[in-house]
A and B are shown apart, each in its own frame.
Chain A
Amino acid sequence: MTLAAATDLAAATNEHLANISNTLIYSSMAVYTLAFFAHILEWLFGSRSKVARTAAALTAGGSRPAAKGAPAVTVQQGGSTTVLERPQVVVRAAAGARDVPDGPGAHGGDVQGDLFGRVAVSLTVLAFLVELAGVAARAASVQRAPWGNMYEFNITFSTVAVAVYLTLLALKKNVRWLGLFLVTTVLLDLGLAVTVLYTASDQLVPALHSYWLYIHVSTAIFCGAVFYVGAVATILYLFKDSYEAKLQAGGKPGTFATSVLERLPASASLDKFAYRVNAAVFPLWTFTIIAGAIWAGDAWGRYWNWDPKETWSFITWVAYACYLHARATAGWKGRKAAYLAMLAFACWLFNYYGVNIFVTGKHSYAGV
């Protein structure tokens, strides 16, 4: 009976921790909401300034002459008699590429907008820390990695997505434009988690008792977060690219489109960012599938069983491989490749939500 008493005591502690975790998750949602509004204000105030770098670069008679091809550009340090400190490298864009500068970001150069943008990032950091604590408390309450069901998977996923974003910011990458889109999706993701997907904290079935859980599921979550960031960049690329194409063709895009898209990075930058992000994580996604196969070999007797989850992770892999391959092949660059990237991310999403909810397979114990 002492054993039973100890178990009860442990159960009580677990429940207590689970409650703390829930409170933390709700709190982080509140802070994310504040960050969301701060981002909205950033965009609103940013719309006051009328920066039109893209339009200027692409419309005839703009302020930036198309000087890239002229050899005069290389004479950057010429004409003086001083001895150089260090030779300067001159970079040329590839032939045929649009020469468009990046937008200034959501604040559009507006001081107040920038202030709200900074507030939004600070709030995102705070919300991230609270959410991280929530995930940690959940892990402590279940005494295992918090990836046993869709609720836990969702809260971890959004935490990791925000971590990826904040890491890129900390590395001084130009990603602040992601903020609003990211915070919005994080809120949706968490909203879904606490309402539809909520599962009371519990232990795992024996099939999940393996250190492969840590390897396979953690990399799957991380890959998803990075693929998500890549997908946002791809969508924005598609908008910005058609905006630029319209300008180039002499068209006049709508005021809202102009206001928003002028502030985003150039389509080429967005495209490159999306590609880098997707390419960087693709080997890890490959590893995730292989780690899953090794685990499957231990748990189910065969390393590849065409289980729906396996099949869809394979389909996702092939779709991303197609995308990366398409970039290497002439004729599939730009928009076509971007559609492939979107398709690939859609496969990833279906693999997560679709397969868990609509299809029964061996991953079904992941719990809705």
Chain B
Amino acid sequence: MSDTETDTSREPEELSAAGSQLSTAPLEESASAPPGLGVIGWARWFWRQLTSMRVALLLLLLLSLGAIPGSLIPQTGADINKVADFRKAHTTLAPLYDRLGLFHVYSSVWFSAIYILLFVSLIGCIVPRTWQFVGQLRGRPPGAPRRLDRLPAHTTWRTTADPEQVREAALALLKRRRFRAHPAGDAVAAEKGYLREVGNLAFHIALIVLLVAFASGQLYKSDGNKLMVEGDGFANALPMYDDFKSGSLFQTQDLVPFSFDLKKFTGTYETSGPNRGTPRTYEAKITYRVGAYGKEKATTVKVNEPLRIGDSKVYLVSHGYAPVVTVRDGSGKVVYHDAVPLLPLDGNVTSNGVVKVMDGYRDARGKADQLGFQAFFVPTFDPRAGTMLSQFPALVNPLLAVNAYHGDLGVNSGRPQSVYQLDTSRMKQFKDAKGQQLKKLLRPGDTLTLPDGAGSLTFDKDIKQWAGFEIVQEPGSGWALGGAVVAILGLAASLFIQRRRVWVRAVTGPDGVTVVEMAGLGRSESAKVPEELGDLAARLYEQAPGAPAEPDPTTRAVPAEGAEK
């Protein structure tokens, strides 16, 4: 990435040798003239095109273009409900989008094609460059060009010191400055800044590592949700999850063995001001055990602080209330006593849900039946608000509204059904004295009595909370992080380190006085190259002090023909 600012290697040919291999950036070839060489020729042409900088750039641009629709069109990976809404709203567009994979852009064929091509192109670029760089490291910096004064930075002076002395001093000086320096004929050739190339290659390789880590993470990941009421336990096994998604190469035995119990959930909220009700803290106190027989440990899971066990992470993602209700049958026997998790409908945790009493219940005549209650719950009921909706997310004035059904819940039909919805198609409403549907608002401790001795439902004083956990396993994230760190370091090295060459030539001039010439060449036209050259020249000047200038300036500075032995 970004090898140069201004490529100086396109100087007249005498400089091209000096500037050769100052980087491993490929030469740009013209894209014209596909060869008429049959399959192999075409394959080679295609490969050369693919690995050319221009195509790599185009692919990079395409990648960013391709990422745009995914940010504007609802994505199944992010929010399935939104996609469903979109489908309903746009009946003509949706099938078209479906065909183009626009509801799952980042796993679509065409998006994958772009980045796979890009990475093939990248590999096709890195491999030859790495070999070239290894060759450069094994070789030596090229010798001095004949005309040093043609280089971007140049200086010269006449000195009383011998040419050999000057060259020796220059070699020592350059080596001290950690240049790779060697004497070459009448000059010393030196080069520095190889870390730029190392950084550049490291950056590109790190990108590949990052992609592979990301891709394998997608293939081997697993991701499930579990809703737990305070006091519930969870063991990390497939049947325990409420819902579960996994990558295509995931296997059940990959699940990290651990278990945990939710002890207590705490949520606090802003009590005043314009943002009244905005959550301030969410935390779940849990105890967990690693492995089947691990020691029990206590910890707190917060929004930004998941519990990490091996490759697995446990996140706190949602919460709500679970009022405890007790249902009695006609004889007064308790047939149901449990916390009922209700799903929040808004930010103030207005919630709803159902209570299903499946077995054990007998009606007034002693006949087995099933009961269903639709529950609507508000943690803070405010009669002044003029609405049943909750006015605050904490338990200030809880109220539970219930109605009741009896009949067949449909749970034995074999069809899956939601635990939060009541299928009333084969159930009958309980009626009140006026023949209306039986409904009642309950405060904690209140009881709804069913008519004709059919039993009762009590809203217990103990209101529990539930917490929703997401358990994510994404292997390879360590590799991704490592790749990212190397990418940044490599990028910084390739952008901030200058690769440059310095030559020092010392020859005896026609009048017997030594002429020293120094020149610097950088891959980019940077002010640092002349600066450094000036500094080096000043140091060398101390050891090879100036001689009085010769009387005739026209013959100086240019070394005699053949000075380059």
Instruction: Point out residues on A near B: beta carbons under 8 Å.
Output: 7-8, 11, 71, 74-75, 77-84, 86-97, 200, 202-203, 205-207, 209-210, 212, 272, 275, 279-280, 282-283, 286-287, 290, 293-295, 297-308, 311-312, 314-315, 318-319, 321-322, 324-333, 347, 355, 359, 361
The yes or no answer to B251 lying at the interface (CB within 8 A) is no
Cβ contacts B137-169/A at 8 Å (1 or 0 each)? 000000000000111111111000000000000
Find out whether the CB atom of A328 lies under 8 angstroms from the CB atom of B25.
yes
Find out whether the CB atom of A91 lies under 8 angstroms from the CB atom of B281.
no
The yes or no answer to B243 lying at the interface (CB within 8 A) is no
Find out whether the CB atom of B78 lies under 8 angstroms from the CB atom of A307.
yes
Find out whether the CB atom of A206 lies under 8 angstroms from the CB atom of B281.
yes
Name B304's contact: one of A88, A209, A282, A308 (CB within 8 Å).
Answer: A209
How far is B313's CA from A78's CA once the two chains are assembled, in angstroms?
A: 74
A307 cross-chain contacts in B, Cβ below 8 A: 78
A71 cross-chain contacts in B, Cβ below 8 A: 149, 557-558
Name A318's contact: one of B64, B280, B484 (CB within 8 Å).
Answer: B64
Cβ contacts B266-299/A at 8 Å (1 or 0 each)? 0000111111001111100000000000000000
**Stretch in B5-13, B187-195, B257-265, B321-329 with 4+ CB within 8 Å of A:** B5-13
Find out whether the CB atom of A83 lies under 8 angstroms from the CB atom of B472.
no
B154 cross-chain contacts in A, Cβ below 8 A: 74, 89-90, 92
With known contacts A11-B272, A301-B470, A303-B480, A359–B72 Cβ distance under 8 A: yes
B549 cross-chain contacts in A, Cβ below 8 A: 77-82
A8 cross-chain contacts in B, Cβ below 8 A: 272
B81 to chain A, nearest CB (A): 12
Name B149's contact: one of A74, A209, A212, A272 (CB within 8 Å).
Answer: A74
Find out whether the CB atom of B153 lies under 8 angstroms from the CB atom of A90.
yes
Find out whether the CB atom of A311 lies under 8 angstroms from the CB atom of B317.
no
Name B546's contact: one of A84, A282, A305, A329 (CB within 8 Å).
Answer: A84
Name B541's contact: one of A86, A95, A298, A327 (CB within 8 Å).
Answer: A86
Find out whether the CB atom of A325 lies under 8 angstroms from the CB atom of B2.
yes
The yes or no answer to B54 lying at the interface (CB within 8 A) is yes
How far is B352's CA from A161's CA once the two chains are assembled, in angstroms?
A: 50
Cβ contacts B301-321/A at 8 Å (1 or 0 each)? 011111000000101010000
**Chain B, interface residues (CB within 8 Å), range:** 35 or more
B71 to chain A, nearest CB (A): 4
The yes or no answer to B487 lying at the interface (CB within 8 A) is yes
How far is B525's CA from A85's CA once the two chains are assembled, in angstroms?
A: 27
Cβ contacts B183-203/A at 8 Å (1 or 0 each)? 000000000000000000000
A299 cross-chain contacts in B, Cβ below 8 A: 303-304
Find out whether the CB atom of A81 lies under 8 angstroms from the CB atom of B548.
yes
A315 cross-chain contacts in B, Cβ below 8 A: 64, 67-68, 71
Find out whether the CB atom of B3 lies under 8 angstroms from the CB atom of A328.
yes
A306 cross-chain contacts in B, Cβ below 8 A: 70-71, 75, 77-78, 105-106
How far is B271's CA from A301's CA once the two chains are assembled, in angstroms?
A: 29
The yes or no answer to B220 lying at the interface (CB within 8 A) is no
How far is B333's CA from A95's CA once the two chains are assembled, in angstroms?
A: 98
How far is B477's CA from A314's CA once the two chains are assembled, in angstroms?
A: 18
The yes or no answer to B404 lying at the interface (CB within 8 A) is no
Find out whether the CB atom of B2 lies under 8 angstroms from the CB atom of A279.
yes
B53 cross-chain contacts in A, Cβ below 8 A: 325, 328-329
Nearest residue (CB) in A for B558 is A71
Extra 9 A-B pairs, beta carbons < 8 Å, given A71-B149, A89-B155: A87-B534, A87-B541, A91-B530, A205-B280, A206-B281, A286-B484, A311-B67, A315-B67, A315-B68
Name B547's contact: one of A83, A210, A290 (CB within 8 Å).
Answer: A83
Find out whether the CB atom of B270 lies under 8 angstroms from the CB atom of A301.
no
Name A283's contact: one of B75, B313, B491 (CB within 8 Å).
Answer: B491
B75 cross-chain contacts in A, Cβ below 8 A: 306
B280 cross-chain contacts in A, Cβ below 8 A: 203, 205-206
A294 cross-chain contacts in B, Cβ below 8 A: 481
Name A302's contact: one of B60, B472, B492 (CB within 8 Å).
Answer: B472
The yes or no answer to B495 lying at the interface (CB within 8 A) is yes
**12 A-B residue contacts at CB 8 Å?**
A7-B271, A81-B551, A83-B548, A212-B304, A279-B2, A286-B484, A297-B313, A302-B472, A305-B78, A307-B78, A314-B67, A322-B61
Find out whether the CB atom of A89 lies under 8 angstroms from the CB atom of B57.
no
Find out whether the CB atom of B57 lies under 8 angstroms from the CB atom of A327.
no
A282 cross-chain contacts in B, Cβ below 8 A: 491, 495
- B52-66: which have CB < 8 Å to A? 53-54, 56-57, 60-61, 63-64
Nearest residue (CB) in A for B537 is A87
How far is B109's CA from A182's CA once the two chains are assembled, in angstroms?
A: 44
With known contacts A286-B487, A322-B57, A330-B28, A298–B305 Cβ distance under 8 A: yes
- Considering residues A74, A78, A89, A275, which has the most beta carbons from chain B within 10 angstroms of its beta carbon? A89
A31 to chain B, nearest CB (A): 30
